[in-house]
Homo-oligomer: A and B are copies of this chain.
Amino acid sequence: MPMLGFVEYKNASPEVRAVYDDIMTTRKTDHINNFWKAIAHDPANLKRTWQATKEIMAQGALDPLTKELIYVAISASNLCDYCIASHTASARKKGMTDAMFAEVMAVVALANANNRLAAGHQVEIDEAFKPR
C-alpha cells in the first residue's frame, strides 16, 4: 500500500474523477495505474502532474516514442523501480522493441560512466562547446 492508500474511482471526488476520465480517454485504457491513485489525495497536484505529463509527452518536435524512451532512460538512471516498470510498459505500447530497450540501457550505462570520468578528472569545458 502506498503511504496514503489509494483513491479508487468509486470513492473519488468529481475533481479527481475528471482527471481519471481524461487519463483513460487519452490512453485508451480502463486501467488507472497505481501512481495516479496514490497521488490523488492531493487533487491539485494530481491534476497538475497529469496535465504536465499529458502535454510534455505528446507529439511535438519529438515524437511520443522518443520521449518515452528518454523517460525510461531517466527512470533507469535514477533506479526508480516503479517508474521503470510503468514506463517500459508505456514505451512498448508506443513501439519500443526489445532491441531498442537494450540500446537505451546501453546509452544510459555509458553516459553514467562517462559523466563520472569527466567530473572525477575535473575536465573543463572546451571553448568550442561553450554556448555562444
Whether, in the assembled complex, A57 has its beta carbon less than 8 Å from a beta carbon of chain B, the answer is: yes
Q: Are B78 and A115 in contact (CB under 8 A)?
A: yes
- Which A residues between 5 and 49 are near B, CB-CB below 8 angstroms? 5, 31, 33-35, 38-39, 41-42, 44-45, 48-49
Contacts of A116 in B (CB 8 A): 76-77, 79, 105, 108-109, 112
- Some 13 contacts from A to B, beta carbons below 8 A apart, are A1-B122, A4-B102, A4-B121, A42-B105, A42-B106, A48-B55, A52-B110, A74-B115, A76-B120, A88-B129, A105-B116, A105-B120, A122-B131
Q: Which residues of A contact B (CB under 8 A)?
A: 1-5, 31, 33-35, 38-39, 41-42, 44-45, 48-49, 51-53, 55-57, 60-62, 66-67, 69-89, 97-126, 128-132
